A and B are shown apart, each in its own frame.
Chain A
Amino acid sequence: MLELKHLAFSAETENQKNEIIRDLNLKIEDNQFVVITGPNGGGKSTLAKLIAGIEKNTAGQIIFDNQDITEKSITERARMGIGFAFQQPVRFKGLTVFDLLKIASGRKLNLTEACEYLSEVGLCAKDYIQREVNASLSGGELKRIEIATVLARNVRLALFDEPEAGIDLWSFQNLIRIFENMRNSSRTIIVISHQERILNIADRIIVLADGQVLKEGSKEEILPEIIGTKYALNACEKLEG
């Protein structure tokens, strides 16, 4: 279980203190599929980064599996089973897809196993496994490889920061399928998304605004309230907008 207690994060700019997360309290049960939505600038991405340890909260506590991880580093949290898929996947000159999957799995991964992770995200393994994770890959390809690295880690809590950002409609259809499949595995999944189709497969929906939880509840409770608003876009609207 993940528990956030009085969590706060503020960024200091020139003589101005910008509060991004404000006294946020939240509990996320095991094996749930949670989607966090809300307006841009509401603190969603920051929240995901705080959980992964990429940003350091300025107040409050983060409890993961009954352990206070507030002071733990990115690496320690990763080793405890927290995974994070970046909104904008990082490129590496020289590292291949296979290298990245090997690092992610933390063991001697064989080619067949690596290919399975790629198949899971809808990539034809033999075309990609030896490719460098560099600028030659498209946004959609990178995104799927990013997701494959999280799958390869077999994490207990997987965080996805706007997986739909920067990909085309065709890739988006595949992405939904990947999440639908992932939903059936036993791990907690937190996805930051505005997409109606992703919200539609959520167990719970959290609406984050002004650094606080505005609404929280089951999909049945929350989705009707936000549907048609900018917190729950359909794919075409998002892409056209």
Chain B
Amino acid sequence: MKQMDAVQKRLLQEVAGLHDIPEGAYNLRANGESIGRNTTANIDIQSKSNGSGIDIHIKSGTKNQSVHIPVVLSESGLKETVYNDFYVGDDCDVLIVAGCGIDNCGTQDSEHDGIHRFFIGKNSRIRYVEKHYGSGEGTGKRILNPVTEAYLDENSCMEMEMVQIKGVDSTNRETLAALKANAKLIVRERLMTHGQQQALSIYKVELNGDGSSADVVSRSVARDNSYQKLDACIIGNAACSGHTECDSIIMDNGRILAVPSLEANHIDAALVHEAAIGKIAGEQLIKLMTLGLTEAEAEEQIINGFLK
């Protein structure tokens, strides 16, 4: 495989927690091309014939294995749209780590739009971790517009951890899920925006089978002049249970619009939403200051804890 430079390695570390090449199946994409791939007996990765992305096939019964498909962009002005499809068989237990890091030192915008689709078989458990990170001093924007679609078959479970803490100028994130009987979706989103950043995060979860459930929790912090729109909708079409929570801290001139919504189309659909936005409570700062922290240190601790 091709060698990665220091910037790419740093991005890889940020988005996938990887110092080097991961164990197990992986596909590393840097500046628009695949620079390394490994498949295993149970996990196959193939490029799509039209070159627009990859198909990942995970055999039924695959347990305790992982797939890493991180993307790094370190060239200014690069724009790409990538389609990655995951076909997960029945009775699997697999960790999937995706994520994108952009370093833009130039003046042109860099953009990566990743469209991930998951077809999850019966009784399978998937843990999906997606981290987004941007860096670089250039005036060119770092843009990420991920789309995640998940189709959960009976008794399957998907846990999504979505994190975007730093450096992404503009993001428009869309997550769609459809669940069959007794399937379960858990989403933990953490988002922090600063400067002039804009972030839109939209969830649309359809609970179609009896006994299906979803728990979508978003915690976010908007600092400086940044703006966030959090839109989480759960639709109950069966005897199901759903919970969505948007919990946000605003600082400086940050603005947040939270639009949690529920739609019940079945008498036994039990749906709950919660939303709260506010600045850091003065008494929280005072408490930590009485423990010897400065106001700035106290603020940092509170934010770190909140987004942990």
Q: Does A95 count as interface, using CB distance less than 8 angstroms?
A: yes
Q: Which residues of chain A from 110 to 155 have any CB-CB distance to chain B below 8 Å in the complex?
A: 149, 153
Q: Which residues of B contact A74 (CB under 8 A)?
A: 286, 289-290
Known: A95-B301, A95-B302. A90 touches B287 (CB 8 A): yes
Q: Number of contacting residues on B, CB 8 A? A: 22
Instruction: Note all chain A residues with C-beta closer than 8 A to B289.
Output: 73-75, 78
Closest beta carbon of chain B to A162's beta carbon, Å: 16
Measured CB to CB, the closest approach of chain B to A92, in angstroms, equals 6
Contact digits for A79-109, partner B, Cβ 8 Å, 1 yes 0 no? 1001110100110111110011001101000
Contact of B292 among A54, A79, A86, A89 (CB under 8 A): A79
Chain B interface mostly: helix
Contact A52–B288 (Cβ < 8 Å): no
Contact among B281, B283, B292 for A75, CB-based, below 8 A: B292
Could you say which of B295, B305, B307 contacts A92, with CB atoms under 8 Å apart? B305
CB of B4 within 8 A of chain A? no
Given known pairs A83-B290, A90-B287, A94-B307, the reply for A103 and B301 (CB within 8 Å) is yes
Q: How far is the CB of B306 from chain A (nearest CB, A)?
A: 4
Give 1 or 0 for each of B290-302: 1 = CB within 8 Å of chain A CB: 1111110000011
Docked-complex contact A106 and B292, CB < 8 angstroms: yes
- Minimal beta-carbon separation of A58 from chain B (angstroms): 19
Give chain A residues whose Cβ lies under 8 Å from the Cβ of B287.
Answer: 86, 89-90
Q: When the two chains form their complex, are residues B291 and A153 in contact, meaning their CB atoms are under 8 A apart?
A: yes
When distances are taken between beta carbons in the complex, the residues of chain B under 8 Å from A90 are: 281, 283-284, 286-287
**Contact partner, B294, options A75, A89, A96, Cβ 8 Å:** A75
Q: Which residues of A contact B247 (CB under 8 A)?
A: 93
Q: Which residue of B lies closest to A146 (CB)?
A: B287
Q: Contact mask B238-272 → A, CB, 8 Å, 1/0? A: 00000000010000000000000000000000000
The dominant DSSP class at the A interface is mixed
Residues from chain A with Cβ under 8 Å of B2 in the complex: none
Do A78 and B301 touch across chains, with their CB atoms under 8 A apart?
Answer: no
Q: How far is the CB of B294 from chain A (nearest CB, A)?
A: 5
Cross-chain contact of A78 among B283, B292, B307 (Cβ < 8 A) = B292
Contacts A92-B284, A103-B288 hold; do A75 and B293 have CB atoms under 8 A apart? yes
Q: How far is the CB of B237 from chain A (nearest CB, A)?
A: 32
A2 CA to B294 CA in the complex, in Å? 23
Cross-chain contact A78 with B306 (CB below 8 angstroms): no
A96 to B302, CA, bound (A): 11
Inter-chain contact B284/A104, CB cutoff 8 Å: no
A103 partner, pick from B219, B291, B295, beta carbons under 8 A: B291
- Given A90-B284, A92-B284, is A99 in contact with B292 using a C-beta cutoff of 8 Å? no
Supposing A75-B295, A103-B293 touch, asked if A93 and B306 sit within 8 A by C-beta, the answer is: yes
Q: Among B286, B294, B301, B302, which residue has its beta carbon within 8 angstroms of that of A54?
A: B286
18 A-B Cβ contacts within 8 A? Answer: A54-B290, A74-B289, A78-B290, A86-B287, A90-B284, A92-B302, A93-B247, A93-B305, A94-B219, A94-B304, A95-B301, A95-B305, A100-B291, A103-B288, A103-B291, A106-B292, A149-B291, A153-B291
**Which 10 residue pairs are nearest across A and B when measured between Cβ atoms?**
A94-B305, A95-B305, A74-B289, A78-B292, A90-B287, A94-B306, A84-B290, A104-B291, A90-B283, A75-B289
